[in-house]
Structure 1
Amino acid sequence: MNIGTTIVNLRREKGVTQEQLARAVGVSKPAVSKWETGQSCPDIQLLAPIARYFGVTIDALLSFTRALPREEADRLVKEIPGIFERDGFQAGMERCAALVREYPDSQYLKLKVAGLYTTCVLHFREEDRTEENLARFREYALELLEEILSGGESRYWVQAKGIAACCYMQSGDYDRAEAYLRELPVPEIDPDSLLPALCLYRGDWEQAAAVSRRVIRRYGNMALQGMVTLLRSAWELEDWDTVRCASEASKTLEEMLGFRTGT
């Protein structure tokens, strides 16, 4: 939220006009109007008087927080695909960059913005779906991911390496992609493999169904990706029996999971 929007909200909460605010802090009514429409910002020397007038801190006036909550980061990033669809590629990229500049210390935000690369093309307008734009987004995502991996919080490294591996694969840097993939941990036991059974023992049928759907979707998606890869490989090797079997299995999985790979 910019300072103009904050001033509008505070003024309305206080029930005062632009003219009353202007008179209180010693500026003209048009000056207040320009603040609220984003055409200009208050002089730094006016921040304290404006904050006192509304009974808030300067931090509140500037919408400053020491750390960006994860929930807020999720909300902000969730808006970006709509910007790509509505306003175009350039506007979407500018919004990504603006968020990262506004919260440069948020490793989680950088991870979420970089993660958009895996689905961003789905939200590009038809005229924006070019290799050049995809490469540009990929390079930007890799910059953010490498920042995280070079000195960010270690709790984000696994996800960052997974997304980076995807980016490097698609850019043709296969050795770098393989290096990151081999560094990813392999869990010995996935809790979700046992949770459905636990729910059944408890008689918690709704939870058992919910967890089972999550497990089927996760591993079904992995199986579908593997099937598509097998299909492509078998096609290149002219192994037609495998092509036929993999094609039928892929179609069945797509129908079960509601996915469309175009296989």
Structure 2
Amino acid sequence: MDNQIGRQIFELRKEQQITQQQLAEFLNVTKASVSKWENGQSYPDITLLPLIASYFNQSIDNLLGYSQLSKKEIENIYRRLKKELSKKPKETLQRIRQMIKRYWSCYDFVFSMASLLMNHLSVLDEDSAEIEGECLSYLLHVFKNTDELSIKNQAKMLLGSIWIERGETSKVFELFGGKAPTINADEMIIAAALQRESRFAEAESVLQITLYQYLIIQLNIFGSYLSLPNLSKERINQTIGFAEGLIETFKIETFHPMIVLMLRLSLAQMFVAEQPEKALNQLEKFAELFEQTNFPIHLKGNGYFNKVDVWFDDLLLGDQTPRDTMLVKEDLIQGVIANSSFESLAEQPRFKAVIEILLRGEKNDKSK
């Protein structure tokens, strides 16, 4: 290491419009220390070099032995931290913060940690608004700097969700616009090109993966559509019929039970006030699927989607869900048992049977 390091820090700081104080706070050192480095009066501690390099997103990382994490490493870290968050939330949160600093220029990792935190706010003791604010800064960092389109788009979606939750809708419109975008369906072109080269198995795989994703998206859209307060009863029944047809036709509960469970719970809440019979029907379907579902849940295909499993190997988190599904399971149980919306059904035998199934599932978890 020579006097270049101080000059590099100075040039990079000026180029990226970062103050000495901002860099000092990030590194947990004093502003005077940064000033001394830049003036050649002293050098950064060697343990700080990877942090400095990643902060400025420079290739100096490689020279100092700093390496980017592979997708498999990120998947394994996420899986481990997801379990640790439930057991030791405060300690794990600090570890996550330290690791984000350590791998600041590994955008896949920073995004995965922001996703992890946002999906586990309920287990963290700290103020959720404060952690959301941290995640916003992480996601904006990823969105502005990554060249990987899939991560950029995922960061964009999570940014939008947080802003909606915080009521900052102007930022959503600024980033997304205010109208429905045209779907490009690049996958269709890729599949057509593969077919043109007689690579039929690959073309089938691309189309299966595409259909798999669009089905999940479509079911989510049905849920959002049904939440609109201005829909007529006729429109609601028609939409539910289409959603039910989609679930039944593709057996969505066999490869993504979580999304079906959440839809059924939402429908039960929607019906309970004016159509309790329909609410009970949805709750019974919910309980039946809940009982059949093996927790923890992993993403998978089914008899029809027999070529999607290999695709999970390419995903940042593999076949795991963003949120600990055992926490989701508990939320689903409490979403019925502790839901004041269903108080009017409390004495109904059918509702009591649903509660019995859910309590049995909860008891089985505690006995393990």
Q: TM-score, normalised by structure 2?
A: 0.43
Q: Which moved more, 1:187-196 or 1:104-113?
A: 187-196
TM superposition shift of 1:244: 0.6
SS at match of 2:263: coil
Tell me the number of residue pairs that the alignment of Structure 1 and Structure 2 aligns. Answer: 191
Cα 1:119–1:214 shift into 2, 3 Å: farther
1:98 CA drift (Å): 2.3
Deviation of the 1:104 alpha carbon: 3.1
Aligned residue in 2 for 1:70: 70
Whole-angstrom CA distance in 1 between matches of 2:98 and 2:171? 29
Q: State whether structure 2 residue 205 is matched by structure 1 residue 210.
A: yes
Q: For the residues of structure 2 that align with 1:249 and 1:93, how far apart are their CA atoms? A: 42
> Residue in 1 aligned with 2:221?
226
Closer, same or farther: CA 147–195 of 1 in aligned 2, 3 Å = closer
Answer whether contact 1:117 1:141 (CA < 8 A) is retained: yes
The corresponding residue for 1:55 is none
What is aligned with 2:84?
A: 83
The answer to whether the aligner puts 1:241 opposite 2:216 as a matched pair is no
The structure showing larger relative contact order (alpha-carbon pairs under 8 Å, at least 6 residues apart) is 2
Query: Does the residue aligned with 2:65 lie in a helix, a strand or coil?
Result: coil
**What is the Cα deviation at residue 136 of structure 1?**
4.4
Which is worse superposed, 213-222 or 108-117? 108-117
Amino acid at match of 1:253: L
Give the deviation of 1:196 after TM superposition. 4.0
- When structure 1 is superposed on structure 2, of 89-98 and 161-170 the one drifting more is 89-98
Residues 18-69 of structure 1 deviation map (CA, whole Å, 9 limit, x = unaligned):
xxxxxxxxxxxxxxxxxxxxxxxxxx9xxxxxxxxxxxxxxxxxxx732323
The corresponding residue for 1:144 is 138
Q: Is the CA contact 2:118–2:132 (under 8 Å) kept in the aligned structure 1?
A: no
Mapped contact 2:118–2:135 kept (Cα < 8 A): no
The 1:246/1:114 distance shift into structure 2, 3 A limit, reads same
Query: Which residue of structure 2 aligns with residue 173 of structure 1?
Result: 168
Structure 1 contact 114–141 (Cα < 8 Å) conserved: yes
CA contact (8 A) 1:93 1:137 kept: no
SS in 2 for 1:194: helix
In the TM superposition, residue 129 of structure 1 has moved relative to its aligned partner by 8.0
CA RMSD, Structure 1 to Structure 2 (Å):
3.5
User: Aligned partner of 1:241: which letter?
Assistant: E
Superposition deviation, residue 117 in structure 1: 4.8
Map residues 122-161 of structure 1 onto 2, 5 A cutoff. 128=123, 134-149=128-143, 152-153=145-146, 155=148, 157-161=152-156
* Counterpart position of 1:93: 93
Distance in 2 between residues matched to 1:218 and 1:242, nearest whole Å? 25
Change (3 A) 1:247 1:194: same
**TM norm structure 1:** 0.58
Instruction: Provide structure 2 residue ranges, at least 5 long, that are not aligned to the other structure.
Output: 1-44, 46-63, 265-368
Tell me by how many angstroms 1:217 deviates: 1.8
With over 3 angstroms needed to count, the CA separation of the structure-2 counterparts of 1:201 and 1:226, relative to structure 1, is same
Note the alpha carbon deviations across 1:96-119, whole angstroms, 9 max, x for none. Answer: 212113223333321221133564
Contact 2:90 2:124 in 1 (8 A): no
Deviations 1:139-175 (A, max 9, x none): 22112123345x6345565443332111111122111
Q: Is the 8 A contact 1:192 1:215 kept in 2?
A: yes
Equivalent residue for 1:163, pick from 158, 162, 165: 158
How far the C-alpha of 1:88 sits from its partner, in A, is: 4.1
Residue identity matched to 2:207: S
Moved more, 241-250 or 71-80: 71-80
Q: Residue type matched to 1:65 in 2?
A: G
Aligned to 1:61: none
**Equivalent residues of 2:69, 2:109 under 8 A apart:** no
Going from structure 1 to structure 2, the CA distance change for 1:133 and 1:199 (only over 3 Å counts) comes to farther
Call closer, same or farther: CA 1:187–1:238 in 2, change over 3 Å: closer
- Cα displacement (A) at 1:215: 0.9
- Say which structure is richer in helix: 1
Structure 2 SS opposite 1:262? helix
Q: Is the alpha carbon distance of 1:244 and 1:98 closer, same or farther for their aligned partners in structure 2, counting shifts above 3 Å?
A: same
Residue of structure 1 in register with 2:111 after alignment: 111
State the Cα distance separating 1:176 from its structure 2 match: 1.3
Identical-pair percentage: 11
- CA 1:169–1:244: 2 relative to 1, 3 Å: same
2:241 maps to amino acid: E
